[in-house]
A and B are shown apart, each in its own frame.
Chain A
Amino acid sequence: MDKQEILKRLTNAIIDGDEEQAVTSAKDAVNLKMDPMEAMDNGLSKGMDIVGERFGKGEAFLPELLMAAQAFNAAMEILNPEIEAQKKEISKLGTVLIGTVKGDVHSIGKNIVATVLETSGYEVVDIGVDNPTLGIIQQAEKAKVDVIALSSLMTTTMPSQREVIETLKEMNLREKYKVIVGGGPVSQAWANEIGADGYGKTAIDAVEILKGLIG
């Protein structure tokens, strides 16, 4: 099997969300002594781009995205030791802490954004749902993130997004983080009112906003 064939198989494994095939093809790449970065960039990431594009167009949904991410991560477990052996580093665009605010247990929107960000090259720290304000800030400090992304699906939990921003100010930490907000009832007007740095209507928007905020 030649290099082109392996790259094609890696791409297709991601598109199909086929973890087993992704691992097998990654092993083939290692056995053929391919550059692991090339296997990642021109094989796996190419597949992720295609899935991401389909997702953006509404032709693929969360399951396809998750299965693709799962296959990607499984293949990377094979490629990572090779990358480290070459003393190379995978560049990350930035680290994002994402969570749903206090009192809100809705997770799907947040999970979609987390998956899209992860597959777009950001390191994501997902702290789940129903997070108290101080907990969000403490976890952001601990994980040394660049961005705090706050999700809220209920009108009655939106005030907690404001509370996070106000508490960051109280703790003299506001300048340290970019804060972006999202969720069903959240709007650009609300983001402006509470002083958030960005608002995304969709997961794809979130990627575009982050490009503008942290590159």
Chain B
Amino acid sequence: MGMLDYLDIYQRALQGPIMSERDFDVKVFIPNLKQIVNCYQIRYDEDDLVPSDDQAADRLFEAGVDFLAQVGVYCQDTNRVIQFTREEILTALKEAPGRCLAGEGKDTGVFSMRRPDDRKLPWFHVGSGIVASSDEIATNLIEAYGAIASADSISISAFDNIRGIPVMAGSPVELDAALHSIQIGREARMRVGRPGLPIMNVISTAASAVTTIAASAPQFGLRPSDGWLCGTIAEMKVDFGVMNKVAYLLNWGGNIGAETSPILGGYCGGPEGTAVVSTAYIIMGLLVHRGNYQLTFPVHFRYGCSTSKDVLWAVSTSCQATSRNVPMPVIWLGYVAGGPNTKMFFYESAAYLLCAVTSGAPSVQTPHPAKAVKVDGITPIEAKFGVEMGAAAAKLDRDQASEIVAKLVELYVPRLETAPTGSIYQQCFDVITGKPSDEYLLLYDEVVEELAGMDIPFE
């Protein structure tokens, strides 16, 4: 029997066991996760944030498979659980292509797998959907992303208003804002001579299926070869909104990006549970979202970032488990507490990228400053660092990375709660010329020199 198709999944959403969402959380998700963590002896080690134990990675993969088979995925619209057998899960893994073709013309690329300690460069996904307050800033950001030669794909900014009207989720203005951001993205890519560079975060800030469908009209400039995100509701839940997007994109032939964000401290509990759920999510992305690729960003419920020690460990271990066993090209994204123009941003980003890249991340996205919630709180300098740091990390193995990460966390973890949110674009870049301030460049050089002194092999 072949892999389950989309209608099989839909049918299970209609026929699976019925229960309230709270019962799913409390009586199914939490006890099964606890049991799986104990059964597979998943143990957090705060002294080794990038473990090099392949057997432990494979055990975590098995735990993820069992967890998905035991718990399933909750459909909020039918209050039923979509269930899979272990055999169905393994069939899906066997048949997954492990690659995603993205982009157009000379900007086409093959986004494929890496293994832990792989020297191959990851697919560099550059930029962020962080809200921009003006067309000028959004354009400057995208042009700068496109100018990074090793950028394989980009994310484009969202807007917080159209003609002064605040963008509200699910409203007509959200749709207008999404279409406007696409047009800005299209023009900026053309201007830097990379018109086919894939945009992989469509439509990240517009949650409704209707916006996805509207944005796929040819006059707006998006293509099936861009990346179309379809989110998951934490934890292990979907609704018809997501399933509608998937149904449309499958018919239309677009690259589907399964989007997940396991929350450490939420239903996942601590780092061990988060690692299991993070692993299960990558498999779920293949089965439920029919993903061609995945975007995942584990975060800490209290700090809102991915750079606390326990989240870094969960990232390293689940990245190793899936890069060794799940043929799904995954973009690993780190949310960083420190903002632009702060040293803390660079320390945190370096730690995150060392964990993900040496653990075999097929792709890394340039980390998001100030937890991605500050309007105009991003500049091209953070993107440039993300790519240079990612390339440097690909020259290291997990043991080396673990030693460096141990030093880095000492520099920033005590300040996670009160992290500086840094500058906004206008404070450290010239909006007209798109050039950085001397002060920020100086800080950048200083930090890179400091990190190079910690044996990070920058070019």
Query: Interface of A with B (CB < 8 Å)?
Result: 58, 61-64, 66-67, 70, 102-109, 111-112, 154-157, 159-160, 184-185, 202
Contacts and interface: CB of A to CB of B under 8 A. Distances in A.
A8 to B, nearest CB: 24
Given A61-B265, A102-B169, A70 B26 contact: yes
Contacts of A155: 131, 158, 160, 205, 373, 375
A104 B234 CA distance: 12
B34 A156 contact: no
Given A62-B266, A155-B131, 12 more contacts: A58-B265, A62-B265, A66-B26, A102-B170, A103-B174, A103-B207, A105-B207, A108-B266, A155-B205, A155-B373, A156-B174, A160-B168
A104 B169 contact: yes
Contacts of B33: 63
A42 to B, nearest CB: 26
A103 B170 contact: yes
8 contacts: A66-B30, A102-B168, A103-B168, A108-B263, A112-B266, A155-B375, A156-B168, A156-B174
In order of increasing CB-CB distance, the 8 nearest A-B pairs are: A103-B169, A185-B373, A103-B170, A108-B266, A159-B166, A156-B169, A61-B265, A63-B269
B159 to A, nearest CB: 10
Contacts of A64: 269
A62 B267 contact: yes
Q: Specify the main secondary structure of chain B where it touches its partner.
A: loop
A184 to B, nearest CB: 6
B220 interface: no
Interface centre among B26, B233, B267, B371 (most CB of A within 10 A): B267
Contacts of A102: 168-170
A61 B168 contact: no
Interface residues of B, number: 39
B170 to A, nearest CB: 4
Contact of B25 (A58, A66, A154): A66
A118 to B, nearest CB: 13
Nearest to B374: A185
B246 to A, nearest CB: 16
Contacts of B268: 61
A66 B34 CA distance: 13
B270 interface: yes
B169 A62 contact: no
Nearest to B30: A63
Interface in B133-174: 158, 160, 166-171, 174
B373 A157 contact: no
Contacts of A58: 265, 302
B301 interface: yes
Nearest to B174: A156
Given A61-B265, A157-B169, A160-B168, A112 B301 contact: yes
Contacts of A70: 26
B302 A63 contact: no
Interface in B237-294: 239, 241, 263-270, 273
Contacts of B265: 58, 61-62
Nearest to A56: B302
Interface string B211-237: 000000000000000000000011100
Contacts of B234: 106-108
Given A103-B168, A109-B301, A202-B302, A62 B207 contact: no
A108 B265 CA distance: 10
Contacts of B371: 184
B107 to A, nearest CB: 29
B265 to A, nearest CB: 5
A85 B371 CA distance: 52
B82 to A, nearest CB: 17
A70 B26 CA distance: 9
Contacts of B168: 102-103, 156-157, 159-160
A184 B297 CA distance: 15
Nearest to A160: B168
A105 B239 contact: yes
